[in-house]
Chains A and B, each alone.
Chain A
């Protein structure tokens, strides 16, 4: 089984994107070994500071994983600073780029109708920048909108059949993409 990380792209105490990361880890547990990881305890990125123990662990986890599933909220039409900072710690200026060629699938939930689409676009550009040069799953956008009616408020599970179906298709594509790189 492939080892994947489901990254919670926020430092907020409550987040539907954390619920999504947990749902993904549980829902696909028969197909991959998925660990939910947080960015909330990492220090703010600085070029002048060396990576501390938390940062080292974060970098090692990413390096060891076969792929990342990043669940991002949208703050002001971009990804949250907490997630951006965590990504900055992975790049060239923190030692070596541990993201080079790493397969990534982008997911996101929003409270409104947009489904974090602007943040997903921002994240895609960041992951493809020379500093990270990740391998991002093309297409397969999953833009989960209206979080509070698509998640069960008691169990925290994603309940929307439409979005679960989209996730199933995108995840199958992601596993295939990790194996083959979709080269023709």
Chain B
């Protein structure tokens, strides 16, 4: 199985990107995870030319068996950097339609960005994007600035166990969609 994992941040130091990079290493024997972020993709504008970076992202989405979004939370909602990419993907692009998608998040706040997850779920299931949404498990990493060691590995055994459970449940669900 090939999973495309997208960190919804354009920040230089992103705990969401760190989380996905940890997953890539931690689950390397189980599944192939391609990790990206949304840095450098221009702001969506309906009058602008479709960016090459989004065409390429669309192809990577189509080639993947499933997607995982790891979203930061800005102002109790999805950051504009991620929303902009989703607007491009909903406009002249069908890459996400019917694609199995899971949502996780990391945040410096104790709640771990769950409100951004809620809005992202609403956006991804709108008629312009029409993803197949995984609802069987939840994962939100709170106080993320203290969650990793110097090597970028998740420190808390509880956090790792919850992540193991999330991915196992997610992959079983993805298999069942085929």
Binding site for B on A (CB under 8 A): 11-13, 40, 44-48, 75-78, 80-82, 84-85, 87-88, 91, 118, 122, 125-126, 128-129, 131-132
State A89–B126 Cα separation when bound (angstroms).
27
Ordered by A's residue number, 25 sampled pairs between the chains whose C-beta atoms are within 8 Å are A11-B43, A44-B43, A45-B79, A45-B80, A75-B44, A75-B83, A75-B128, A76-B123, A76-B126, A76-B128, A77-B123, A78-B119, A78-B123, A81-B80, A81-B87, A84-B74, A84-B78, A85-B80, A85-B81, A85-B84, A88-B74, A88-B75, A118-B122, A125-B119, A129-B75
Instruction: Tell me how far the C-beta of A17 lies from the nearest C-beta in chain B, rounded to whole angstroms.
Output: 13
Which chain A positions have C-beta within 8 A of B90? Answer: 75-76
Q: A46-B10, A88-B74, A126-B75 are in contact. Are A82 and B81 (CB under 8 A)?
A: no
CB-CB under 8 A from B83, the residues of chain A are: 75-76, 78, 80-81, 84
Find residues 60-91 in chain B having any chain A CB closer than 8 Å to their own CB.
74-81, 83-84, 86-87, 90
Q: Is B167 part of the binding interface, using a Cβ–Cβ cutoff of 8 Å?
A: no
Given contacts A77-B123, A81-B87, are A122 and B77 in contact (CB under 8 A)? yes
Query: Within 8 Å CB of B75, what residues of A?
Result: 84, 87-88, 91, 126, 129, 131-132
A84 to B47, CA, bound (A): 18
Kindly list chain A residues whose C-beta atoms are within 8 Å of the C-beta of B11: 46-48
**With contacts A82-B43, A82-B45, A84-B83 known, is A129 near B76, CB below 8 A?**
yes
| Complex CA distance for A157 and B46, rounded to whole angstroms | 23
A128 contacts across to B, CB distance below 8 A: 76
Residue B12 is within 8 A (CB to CB) of chain A in the complex: yes
B119/A80 in contact, CB under 8 A:
no
Contacts of A132 in B (CB 8 A): 75
Specify the chain A residue showing the minimal Cβ separation from B90. Answer: A76
Rounded to whole Å, the gap between the CB of A8 and the closest CB of chain B is 13
- Chain B, residues 31-58, CB within 8 Å of chain A (1/0): the string is 0000000000011111100000000000
> Please, how many angstroms separate the alpha-carbon atoms of A81 and B123 in the complex?
12
A45 and B81 contact, Cβ closer than 8 Å, known pairs A78-B122, A82-B43, A122-B119: yes
